[in-house]
A and B are shown apart, each in its own frame.
Chain A
Amino acid sequence: MGQAEWATVPISTRDTKGPLFFTEHEWATVEAATARIIPTDHHPGAREAGVVRFIDRMLAGTQFVFPAADGKGFLRMEGLEEQAWQERIESRRTFYRDGIIELDAIAADAFGADFLNLTEDQQDAVLERISRKEKPTKFVFAESDGQGSGGAPAGNQPVNEDFLEFFPLLVLNTRQGFYGDPVYGGNDNRLGWRVIGFPGPPSLAATMDGSYTTLEYMIPEAEWPYEQHPAVLRYGDR
């Protein structure tokens, strides 16, 4: 069965409440780490979005790799692609298991407790040590290029996470859980999108039937040449 014929299995990342892969301690530790990566402020953060569930489901096996296009279930992978993902998930499991042990070891060494039981500032200090970099500081227009390594923006290529170390992988997965489609188990109630002002589709199905559109954010009545067109001039920058 080639990729085009993979069957849809009617399962959801939310069928089970707790962990499918992590132990309770691992679940709580990863949840605490994601909450420092995307913290809660006057808006919800990774904890409220259920990012730890996203990561747990990613590690649970190949049954949660590819949602059906309309989001109603997941594709049952087969053949070489399934084997490749088995291997990929296996190596990520090791990364996470070892990474959590390392977080606790650094926490014990520096503060005499598990990562989970530290204060937020102490947890940040552990993340600084594991990332071998200082915690990123606020982006300011006026200053020269910051210390962060946000990486180049998405160009025209797939974004590969196979070669990342534990901490950058955790950061990327946290981002994926916060901003990815809710079907994957994170981004509860699409709140990740709301935090940054991305309308996002109400469901994957709404991107298929033409009902979800962003036309209202465009200037469809403008005609070429654009620069002096009344529809364009209507948008004066304040």
Chain B
Amino acid sequence: MTTLKNPEPVDVVIVGAGAGGATAAKVLTEAGLRVVGLERGPWLKPEHASGDELKFLNRNFIWQDPKLKPRTYRQNDSEEAVVTNFSATPQVVGGGTTHWGGMVPRMTENDFRLRSLHGDVEGASLVDWPITYDDLEPYYTRVEWEFGTSGLGGANRWEGRRSRDYPTKPAPLSQIGRKFATAMDKMGHSTFPMPQGMVTEPYRGRTPFSENGFWQQYPDPGTGKSSTLISFIPDAVHTGLYDLRSDCYVSEVLVDKTGKATGVRYQDEHGNEFVQNAKAVIVCGGGIETPRLLLMSTSALFPDGLGNGSGQVGKNATFHQYSFSVGLFDRALHDPLYGWSGHYMNLCSFDFYETDESRGHILGSLIFPSMLGHPVNWSFPGRPTWGQAAKDADRDLFNYSMKIGILLHDLPVESNRVDLDPNVKDAWGLPVARITHTPHANDFAQEKWQVKKNGEILEAAGASKVVPVNMERITGNTSHELGTVRMGNDPATSVVDKWCRSHEVPNLYVFDASFFPTATGINPALTIMANAWRCADRIIAVDRHGWTD
């Protein structure tokens, strides 16, 4: 470990270059600030991507290798945590926007005020957001247009006021989308085109996706899929003010005697250690790595971790478990579904999104139909695994199957948390993140009800067999990591303020989904990006007055 000359100080150092980090980099550099970005993972390019199922699904090409970067999980404090690949999320430049399916619905207005609507729910730490839909709306619109999205403005009647339509038209309908739309219609329910991070028409020099089927979990070799890798990062680099250093692993956020952040300590891929000083630090490592970094950053002023005077860092973790019902169709009665065609999922519905107490639980999720996977990983519980029966099942059902899934709108619970594992270290010798999590009773109730409902929709679509796939525990199977650095007005019960700035460290910010006070029932990336833009605007305004309010 040699110490070489430290790089020059800059205005802002951003840890991570995913949805939050790259958005902040774009906005800050376009306003003239000098920014250094430090990203753990490699800077892969579109030309590293192709439709290779084994590489991207089975061999961890863009996912963290669990041998090098393990995590541990336990259900409660009385258990010993075990090593798992919990909530694998690509650690690469572009972060989760590289592998994602690009679902970009907006939060509903009610999502911002769950405590006002539902009061204190026993066993949960329900709160209102310190901001409203109206605060975020202009930024939602900005991201939709700058980042590149497709959809149909006004088609989702549960959505709040929208100031502008989507820049490109909805993605084409697939056979599974058709099945879903007609079955939902038969049941008196509505569907609309899934808003997606993709361009479906030539847009700002980008060409539409080839619809080759390799979409969800696959990075895009073209320019159809919107990711910060091909949109916001090039924007920031273009200013000449963004120095993005990939393969650089930040291990500590540094503070001075007055409690201000001074920069970060990191090592490059050769193990050389550096300190990058900056006037402000923005942490965007995701809802698991961010609290891990804050907890690793201990000092005399912050013995329990940076900005953790409240003891809230890592608490209230939510993970959006993905559950679903599988529908299997008889080939003698149905046309093939060709689930692999297009882009993984098609259409969605918000009909079950808002709370309906008659279901016996609160909250709800968007639902959407999708494929069961490509040939290697295509399967369903109960599928025969070998022999003639396995071959027959693959041959008879591969093109005659689909699923309808939910994103669990899980309740925040204070004891559900991320902290440092006392025993397990990563390949660099640093303590790994330990997840302690037991779902709330309402989570199980909501999940069970909606998975059953999705099964009924599949039956209405004519499925000969429905297989419900229910949650047993949280596995992090959506890569949505939320709530661990809670945003709120009260420093005693939250970690960052309404500008995502630490209550205790005046120049420390967190712009990834860690800030989510409650989980929402939608994919978080659009909201991460919109909020990062909103808070970056605030930093610019503050910067012009010398980093003080």
Binding site for B on A (CB under 8 A): 2-4, 36-39, 41, 43, 45, 65-67, 69-71, 79-81, 84, 87-88, 124, 127, 135-139, 141, 145-162, 168, 171, 174-176, 179-181, 183-184, 192-193, 195-198, 200-201, 204-205, 207-208, 210-215, 217-220, 222, 224-228, 231-232, 235, 237-238
- B148 to chain A minimum Cβ distance, whole angstroms, is 17
- Which of B185, B328, B379 lies at the interface centre, i.e. has the most chain A CB atoms within 10 A of its CB? B379
- Classify chain B: how many residues form its interface, as a range: 35 or more
Residue pair A151, B379 in contact (C-beta under 8 Å): yes
Other-chain contact of B57, A38, A146, A159 (Cβ < 8 Å): A159
- Interface residues in B432-474 by Cβ distance below 8 A to A read 462, 464-465, 467, 469
- Which of B44, B212, B373 lies at the interface centre, i.e. has the most chain A CB atoms within 10 A of its CB? B212
Other-chain contact of B211, A139, A153, A218, A228 (Cβ < 8 Å): A218
Q: In the bound complex, how far is the Cα of B388 from the Cα of A195, in angstroms?
A: 13
Q: 20 additional contacts, CB 8 Å, given A207-B50, A215-B172, A237-B334?
A: A2-B246, A2-B269, A4-B44, A36-B386, A67-B55, A136-B389, A148-B382, A152-B381, A156-B478, A157-B479, A160-B66, A175-B376, A197-B398, A205-B50, A212-B51, A213-B212, A217-B342, A218-B211, A235-B178, A237-B333
By DSSP majority rule, is chain B's interface helix, strand, loop, or mixed? Answer: loop
Q: In the bound complex, how far is the Cα of B67 from the Cα of A213, in angstroms?
A: 36
- Interface residues in B30-85 by Cβ distance below 8 A to A read 41-45, 47-55, 57-61, 63, 65-68, 85
Residue pair A150, B380 in contact (C-beta under 8 Å): yes
- Which of B68, B175, B221 lies at the interface centre, i.e. has the most chain A CB atoms within 10 A of its CB? B221
The yes or no answer to B213 lying at the interface (CB within 8 A) is yes
Q: In the bound complex, how far is the Cα of B358 from the Cα of A28, in angstroms?
A: 62
Q: In the bound complex, how far is the Cα of B190 from the Cα of A228, in angstroms?
A: 12
Other-chain contact of A155, B381, B399, B477 (Cβ < 8 Å): B477
- Which of A145, A148, A174, A204 lies at the interface centre, i.e. has the most chain B CB atoms within 10 A of its CB? A148
- CB contacts (< 8 Å) of B182 on chain A: these are 226-227, 232
- CB contacts (< 8 Å) of A155 on chain B: these are 322, 477-478
The yes or no answer to B143 lying at the interface (CB within 8 A) is no
- CB contacts (< 8 Å) of B336 on chain A: these are 197
- A155 to chain B minimum Cβ distance, whole angstroms, is 4
Q: In the bound complex, how far is the Cα of B9 from the Cα of A28, in angstroms?
A: 63
- CB contacts (< 8 Å) of A141 on chain B: these are 328, 330, 464-465
- CB contacts (< 8 Å) of B328 on chain A: these are 141
Residue pair A157, B88 in contact (C-beta under 8 Å): yes
Residue pair B376, A180 in contact (C-beta under 8 Å): yes
- CB contacts (< 8 Å) of A222 on chain B: these are 172-173, 178
Residue pair B42, A4 in contact (C-beta under 8 Å): yes
Residue pair A146, B88 in contact (C-beta under 8 Å): no
Other-chain contact of A204, B45, B52, B246, B334 (Cβ < 8 Å): B52
Q: In the bound complex, how far is the Cα of B63 from the Cα of A38, in angstroms?
A: 29
Closest A residue to B170 by CB, please name it.
A224
Residue pair B88, A158 in contact (C-beta under 8 Å): yes
Residue pair A45, B391 in contact (C-beta under 8 Å): yes
